[in-house]
Amino acid sequence: LEHQRVESFLISRSRQSVTVAGERFVFDAGEPILTEYSHKYTIDGFADLASPAGWAIHKVWTDRQGLFAVVHMVVESEPPLQASEPDR
């Protein structure tokens, strides 16, 4: 699959610190803060991505230009089990 994405950033206007869930983060003035990865897929590419996890496309609604879609997915099958490390 060809991965296309848009990355969104905020730029810190001053040196500042933010506490989230008890952890402190310090940002310098001018520092970019990555806020989002927005991945873009074709309908077929999205189906190919979802299929190994057991999902299938049930219905798709798009805008007139086909640039935006809402996809109704259904569980088609149970995804294969992944090998994991034993509990210690």
Q: How high is the pLDDT of residue 32?
A: 98
Q: How high is the pLDDT of residue 39?
A: 86
Q: How high is the pLDDT of residue 3?
A: 60
Q: How high is the pLDDT of residue 1?
A: 47
Six token digits for residue 2: 């060809």
Q: Model's pTM, two decimal places? A: 0.55
- 3-state DSSP of 27-44: ECCCCEEEEEEEEECCHH
Rounded Cα distance, 58 and 48, in Å = 14
Name the stretches of the chain with pLDDT < 50. Answer: 1
